[in-house]
Structure 1
Amino acid sequence: MDGENDEVPETLATYLRLRGLEPSPRSKRRRRKRGGQDDENIPFAPGRDPKGVGDVLDKLTHDAGWDEPLARADLVRQWGEVAGTDTAQHTRPVALADGMLTIQCDSTAWAKQLQLMRAHILTQILQLFPDAGVSSLRFIGPDVPSWKWGPRAVPGRGPRDTYG
């Protein structure tokens, strides 16, 4: 090393040493001390390539815990792709609670037909939107009030027994 410095002027050797192109005797000691640190600041290290906007947004949504709500919104927005365009004209997802997706149909005939296709539709949902958290499907007919439906329904005649 001294032989190389004899050929190079001292000012140029100092410049090269300060720029990190030629290690100084002290830098070897520093490197030994820093050996356990993270390599994220080292240029040309693995994982230092620039990332696309999509990759950055995917990481952001995953870190923020938005995967499930975004997948649910995509499921509702792209219902036509999941159920098919003809079926989507007669149905719409109305609720998603505790893994059960409730789908309202134009008629009871459509509800019954989709009950027969339940496995196929659920498979489509799980393939396209695995993060949505859908585990079962429920098909209901047109919006008609029901006394027997809801989380707090009790067995019996319901409110009709108070009439008399």
Structure 2
Amino acid sequence: MPEPVDRSEIPETIATYLRLRGLEPQARPFRRRRRAQPDDEHAPFTPGRDPRGVADVLSDLTRESGWESQLAREDVVRTWAEVAGADTARHTRPVAFLDGTLTVQADSTAWAKQLQLMRAQILSEILRRFPEAGVEGIRFIGPDVPSWKWGPRAVPGRGPRDTYG
């Protein structure tokens, strides 16, 4: 049973509160200190507190943000010379990636045809190096040539034939 306390030791505001509540003042302190909860996150020598490299932090960030496939596709373009070979890379460049198909433009139609024959090798190299890129196929196209079929004023049909001469 708590021992009664001399009312002169208790501040007047607290004594008034206790009187109104119908409680008697006690010898123990009125404000209880909350016990500090153990904070495992900031405690030293716990798992997960080891220093990490910047590469590990960035790797976790890209994985959690869902950027892995986009960055892998950028890596395919950036390392095209290593994937396709230096000689091939001098005559080609990746130009688009749409629905799992990588489109590569060649300097000439001969290079485009040669690359069609090498498609399996290049695709297997991309899948080996960058499996998260999502490349399912490769399309090779020749050089850009002017076309009369594009633009807002294109007319259906054969179009002009004696333009150059």
What is the count of residue pairs matched by the alignment?
121
Q: Mind listing any 5+ residue stretches in structure 1 that lack a counterpart?
A: 1-29, 149-157
CA distance in 2: counterparts of 1:42 and 1:138, whole angstroms: 55
Distance in 1, Cα, partners of 2:40 & 2:132: 33
Aligned twin of 1:134: 135
Distance 1:71 1:38, change over 3 A: farther
Within 2, Cα distance between the matches of 1:55 and 1:124?
Answer: 25
2:52 corresponds to: 51
Deviation at 1:74, TM superposition (A): 1.5
Which segments of 5 or more consecutive residues in structure 2 lack a partner in the other structure?
A: 1-34, 150-154, 161-165
Following the alignment from structure 2 to structure 1, what is the Cα–Cα distance between the partners of residues 125 and 148?
Answer: 32
Identify the residue that residue 26 of structure 2 maps to in structure 1.
none
Provide TM-score, normalisation by structure 1: 0.63
Larger proportion of helix: 1
CA distance in 2, matches of 1:147, 1:48: 64
Describe the shift of the 1:144–1:69 C-alpha distance in structure 2 as closer, same or farther (beyond 3 A).
Answer: same
Q: Is the 8 A contact 2:107 2:142 kept in 1?
A: yes
Structure 2 residue 114 is matched with structure 1 residue 113: yes
Match of 1:155 in 2: none
Query: Percentage identity across aligned positions?
Result: 67
Secondary structure of the 1:89 match is helix
* Other-structure match for 1:10: none
Q: How big is the shift at 1:114? A: 0.7
In 2, Cα distance between equivalents of 1:45 and 1:62: 24
Partner amino acid for 2:156? P
Q: Could you tell me which amino acid in structure 2 is paired with residue 77 of structure 1?
A: R
How far apart are residue 140 of structure 1 and its match? Answer: 0.5
Match of 1:104 in 2: 105
Q: After the TM superposition, which of the residue ranges 41-50 and 101-110 deviates more from structure 2?
A: 41-50
Higher CA-based Rg: 2
TM-score for the superposition, normalised by structure 2? 0.63
Cα drift, residue 42 of structure 1: 4.4
Shift of 1:45: 2.8
For each residue in 1:75-100, what CA deviation from the matched residue of structure 2 results, as whole angstroms up to 9, or x when unmatched? 11111011000000000000000000
Aligned-residue offset at 1:43: 3.3
Find runs of 4+ consecutive structure 1 residues off by over 3 angstroms: 37-43, 145-148
Find the aligned partners of 1:109 and 1:38 in 2 and give their Cα distance: 68
